[in-house]
């Protein structure tokens, strides 16, 4: 049901965390994967790991805020593997955290460029390639922050990630008649380098864990399973959703 055999997928933010785990899982399930991130070394290691497991992968290093990078990712999928069926647009940034009046306009714009505008640019080139296939699955990484929970000092992050939910719904309605599904995953606390950067002490991490109904954070591999669900035909009637994969942080009050 979750087979990705003969599918071609793009994964951004693939050098670590959720993106890396998702690329490995999609490849293990049979997809040919084009992986992108800024760090070429991390991508090369990922491609080698996928190849050692019998999978197929190709890497493109670049910045998701660069329109040429978005275009090249799609070109690579078509050139190397013959087309595009799935895109997991996962790359993002926390941005500057702190009191909103202290956030510069430049920092605000940079966070929105990285988290929201990059998703638009990715979709701009991914959707036409999926139309050529006659179907597809487009996935964004949003967050519960700014959707079900408000955190002080996270205005730019919350606004940019909440914007992805609106983009998801608009694209799902626009491209649903063409059999292209568009969804967003909203992870809870996940043990990634970015999350550890935000919560850099044992006390801070314990506080994050306590926010969740499950009283723990997720592994990247757990979130990747939800990505696989949305990428595969198991979710064939699922589109336009903001899918919480958050360990109950959105409903927990204990």
Say what the pLDDT of residue 1 is.
52
Say what the pLDDT of residue 61 is.
97
DSSP states along the chain: ----TT-EEEEESTTSHHHHHHHHHHHHTT-EEEEEES-HHHHHHHHHHHHHTT-EEEEEE--TT-HHHHHHHHHHHHHHHS--SEEEE--------S-GGGS-HHHHHHHHIIIIIHHHHHHHHHHHHHHHHT-EEEEEE--SBTTTB--TT-HHHHHHHHHHHHHHHHHHHHHGGGTEEEEEEEE-SB-SHHHHHHS-SHHHHHHHHHHSTTSSPBPHHHHHHHHHHHHSGGGTT--S-EEEESTTTTT---
Active site (annotated) includes residue 125: no
Backbone angles phi and psi of 219, in degrees to 5: -90, 155
Say what the pLDDT of residue 113 is.
96
Checking if the pLDDT of 199 tops 80, the result is no
Q: Specify the pTM.
A: 0.95
Give me the domains of the chain, ranges plus CATH numbers: 8-245 (3.40.50.720)
Mean pLDDT of 141-148: 94
Give percent above pLDDT 90 in the chain.
89
Give percent above pLDDT 70 in the chain.
99
Say what the pLDDT of residue 195 is.
78
* Mean pLDDT, the chain, whole residue set: 95
Q: What is the pLDDT of residues 102-119, one digit of tens each?
A: 999 999 999 999 999 999
CA distance 108 to 54: 42
Q: What is the pLDDT of residues 7-18, one digit of tens each?
A: 999 999 999 999
Q: What is the pLDDT of residues 154-175, one digit of tens each?
A: 999 999 999 999 999 999 999 9
Decide if 55 contacts 33 (C-beta within 8 A): yes
CA distance 39 to 11: 14
């Amino acid at each position: 049901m979750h087979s990705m055999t003969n599918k071609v997928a793009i994964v951004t933010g693939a050098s670590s965390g959720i993106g890396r785990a998702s690329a490995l899982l999609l490849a293990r399930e049979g997809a040919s994967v084009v992986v992108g991130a800024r760090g070429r070394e991390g991508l090369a290691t990922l491609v080698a790991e996928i190849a050692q497991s019998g999978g197929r992968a190709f890497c493109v290093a670049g910045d998701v805020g660069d329109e040429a990078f978005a275009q090249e990712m799609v070109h690579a999928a078509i050139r190397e593997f013959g087309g595009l069926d799935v895109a997991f647009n996962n790359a993002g940034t926390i941005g500057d955290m702190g009191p909103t009046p202290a956030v510069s306009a430049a920092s605000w714009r940079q966070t929105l460029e990285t988290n929201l505008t990059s998703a638009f640019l990715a979709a701009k080139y991914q959707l036409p390639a999926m139309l050529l296939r006659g179907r597809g699955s487009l996935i964004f990484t949003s967050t519960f922050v700014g959707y079900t929970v408000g955190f002080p000092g996270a205005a730019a992050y919350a606004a940019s990630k909440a914007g992805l939910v609106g983009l998801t719904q608009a694209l799902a309605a626009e491209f649903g008649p063409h059999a292209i599904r568009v969804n967003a995953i909203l992870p809870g606390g996940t043990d990634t380098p970015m999350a550890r950067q935000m919560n850099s002490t044992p006390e801070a991490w314990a506080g994050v864990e306590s926010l969740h109904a499950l009283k723990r954070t997720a592994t990247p591999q757990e979130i990747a399973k939800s990505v696989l669900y949305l990428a595969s035909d198991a979710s064939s009637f699922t589109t336009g959703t903001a899918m919480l994969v958050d360990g109950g942080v959105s409903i927990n009050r204990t």
